[in-house]
C-alpha cells in the first residue's frame, strides 16, 4: 500500500483490524518523581535556561524540563517531522484532533531494503510526550512490501474527557521487531496414536510469575524436540498425565523476539475439540532465563486423542533492531 493510498484509507480503518496487543499507556509523570527531579534541576536552572537548551535540541535538557513542566518543554521542543537511524526512517504522515481524541499516522521505512517482509512491532518501547496528562497507545496498521514501509496508528485521549489541546507531540522509539511471521499449521509430525501415558515428569524450580499448583506434574525437557513447526518455536514433549493431555513448547530468546504461540486440539474436520477456556497454560524459563517454556494442559480423554490432531498458532521474529528514533510534530 503506497502512502497516498494509505492516507485515503485511514479514515475507513476499523479498530478490529489493528493490532492492539500493546497496553494503553498513561502519558503522565508521577508527582514524587517530579519533585525529585525538580530539586535536582534547580541548580541547573540557575546556571543555564533549560528552555533555551531544549530549543537547541539538547536531549538531556529536554528530559529534565519535560519532567518539571511538560507544557513548557513541548512548547520549546523543535519540530522534527522525520528522523533516521540504523537505516530506518520514521516520518509523521498526518496528525489530527477531534473532540477529546487525536489520531496520528506514522510510517517507518527500511531505506536499505534489506529487512525481512512482515509485520513490525515497536516492542512496547515507544514513548509519547505531550503537553498534559492523557492516555495513548500505538498499533501496527499495515506493511507495504513494495516500499518496505510499516504504518502505525497512534491514538490519544484526554484523561478528563475535555477537548484535545493544540500543541506539539514528541514520539520516540528504541526497539523494533521487524518481519514478524504468523504461522498457523497442523502439527503432522506429532504422532497422536502413540501419546505416552504417564511419562516421566518433574516440577520446574520456578514458574514465570505463577505458583505451582499442588500435585501438578510437568513433562520433562528432552535434548531434542518432537518437531519444529517454525523457526523459534519447538514442540519439546507430549504426554498424558493425571487425566489431561500435556504439550510442552519452547519459544526461543523471547526477550529479543517476543516469540509466542498457542496449541489447540482439533478433530479430522479442523474443529476444536476442547474449549480453549478450559485449557491451563504454565510458563517457566530455561536455566539462563533466555528461552521460555509453555506447557499446555488440555482436559481430554486419552482414548479420544487418536481421533485428533494438534494445531499450532505461532508468532515469531528473528530481526530485532535497537536504535534512536524521535520525531516532534504539531497537533493543530
Structure-block grid coordinates of residue 289: 532465563
pLDDT for 77:
83
Which ranges in the chain are annotated with CATH 2.60.40.10? 3-180+320-331
Q: For 38-42, 190-194, 286-290, 318-322, which range has the lowest pLDDT when averaged over its residues? A: 38-42
Q: What is the largest CA-CA distance in the chain?
A: 79
Phi/psi region, residue 58 (left: phi>0; alpha: psi -120 to 50; beta: rest), is beta
93-136 pLDDT, tens digit per residue, is: 999 999 999 999 999 999 999 999 999 999 999 999 888 888 99
Q: Is the pLDDT of residue 25 over 70?
A: no
Q: Which of 198, 192, 196, 199 is nearest to 305 (CA)?
A: 192
Q: Which fold has domain 3-180+320-331?
A: Immunoglobulin-like (2.60.40)
The pTM of the full predicted model, rounded to 2 decimals, is: 0.76
Task: Give the DSSP letter string of 68-123.
Answer: H-HHHHHHHSPPB-EEEETTEEEEEEEEEEETTEEEEEEEEEESSS-SPSSEEE-T
244-290 pLDDT, tens digit per residue, is: 999 999 999 999 999 999 999 999 999 999 998 999 999 999 989 99
Amino acid at each position: 500500500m503506497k502512502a497516498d493510498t494509505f492516507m485515503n484509507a485511514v479514515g475507513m480503518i476499523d479498530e478490529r483490524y489493528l493490532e492492539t496487543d500493546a497496553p494503553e499507556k498513561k502519558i503522565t509523570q508521577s508527582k514524587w518523581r517530579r519533585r525529585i527531579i525538580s530539586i535536582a534541576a534547580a541548580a541547573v536552572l540557575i546556571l543555564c535556561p533549560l528552555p533555551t537548551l531544549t530549543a537547541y535540541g539538547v536531549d538531556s535538557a529536554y528530559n529534565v524540563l519535560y519532567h518539571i513542566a511538560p507544557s513548557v518543554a513541548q512548547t520549546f521542543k523543535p519540530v522534527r517531522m522525520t528522523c533516521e537511524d540504523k537505516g530506518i526512517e520514521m516520518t509523521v504522515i498526518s496528525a489530527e484532533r477531534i473532540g477529546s481524541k487525536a489520531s496520528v499516522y506514522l510510517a517507518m521505512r527500511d531505506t536499505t531494503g534489506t529487512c525481512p517482509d512482515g509485520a513490525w512491532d515497536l516492542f512496547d518501547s515507544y514513548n509519547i510526550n505531550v503537553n498534559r496528562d492523557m492516555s495513548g497507545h500505538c498499533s501496527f496498521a499495515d506493511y507495504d512490501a513494495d516500499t518496505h514501509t510499516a504504518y502505525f496508528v497512534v491514538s490519544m485521549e484526554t484523561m478528563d474527557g475535555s477537548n484535545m489541546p493544540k500543541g506539539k507531540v514528541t514520539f520516540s522509539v528504541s526497539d523494533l521487531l521487524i518481519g514478524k511471521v504468523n504461522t498457523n499449521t497442523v502439527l503432522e509430525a506429532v504422532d497422536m496414536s502413540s501419546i505416552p501415558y504417564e511419562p516421566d515428569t518433574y516440577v520446574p524450580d520456578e514458574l514465570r510469575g505463577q505458583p505451582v499448583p499442588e500435585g501438578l506434574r510437568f513433562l520433562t525437557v528432552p535434548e531434542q524436540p518432537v518437531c519444529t513447526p517454525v523457526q523459534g518455536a519447538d514442540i519439546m514433549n507430549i504426554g498424558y498425565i493425571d487425566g489431561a493431555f500435556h504439550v510442552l513448547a519452547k519459544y526461543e530468546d523471547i526477550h529479543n523476539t517476543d516469540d509466542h504461540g498457542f496449541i489447540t486440539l482439533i478433530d479430522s474436520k479442523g474443529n476444536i475439540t476442547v474449549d480453549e477456556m478450559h485449557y491451563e497454560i504454565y510458563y517457566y524459563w530455561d536455566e539462563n532465563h533466555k528461552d521460555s517454556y509453555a506447557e499446555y494442559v488440555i482436559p481430554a480423554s486419552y482414548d479420544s486423542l487418536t481421533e485428533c490432531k494438534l494445531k499450532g498458532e505461532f508468532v515469531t521474529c528473528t530481526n530485532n533492531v535497537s536504535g534512536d528514533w524521535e520525531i516532534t510534530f504539531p497537533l493543530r
